[in-house]
Amino acid sequence: MAVREIVILGDPILREKANAVETFDEALRELVRDMFHTMVFAEGAGLAAPQIGIPFRVLVADTSRGEEGKGERHAVVNPTIVELGVEEERESEGCLSVPGVSDIVSRPGRVVLEGFDPMGSPIRIEAEGLLSRVLQHEVDHLEGILFFDRISPLKRRLLLSKYKKLLLEESA
């Protein structure tokens, strides 16, 4: 297992639609192990392959940390959202690829996701709460969508301005 470098805002891969995985082999399973390791190292709850520079439809999610072991851990290959709940939930979101900033994002409180596990077996995940939010956030990454694309243009400009200021402070 290796900790991979997380790409940050400005890298074009974050805005590209990821490619479907066609081969379920040991290289894919190694990628998934590295993604989990990288996500835990970065103290995240989810990670999509494009965030480590890999243009494929793979995501990992782990909501078990910080919730007294009540969360869930998933790796999903070629995920598709097949159902979204009607009720919206507004919660703060951040992103490992846009470090240091967060904002309130409205998302459906429930999601049903279908895809495959790293061995190629079909899976279906019905999620609510934090896991639902994490899965939706990571599927967005696979579509080239970032969390701040889901907030108002004014709030987006303020968030990006804050992010640029943080980058300037770090480089000083």
Q: Active-site residues: which are they? A: 138
Query: How far is 66 from 110, CA to CA, in rounded Å?
Result: 21
Residue 84 tokens read as: 């979204």
Backbone phi and psi for residue 5, each to the nearest 5 degrees, phi listed first: -75, 130
**Entry field: residues in the chain:** 172
Query: How far is 162 from 106, CA to CA, in rounded Å?
Result: 21
Query: How far is 49 from 6, CA to CA, in rounded Å?
Result: 10
Do residues 18 and 142 lie in contact, with contact meaning Cβ atoms separated by under 8 Å? yes
Burial string for 51-62 (b: 16+ CB within 10 Å, else e) reads bbebebbbbbbb
Other C-beta atoms lying within 10 Å of the C-beta of residue 24: 16
Residue 10 tokens read as: 């400005």
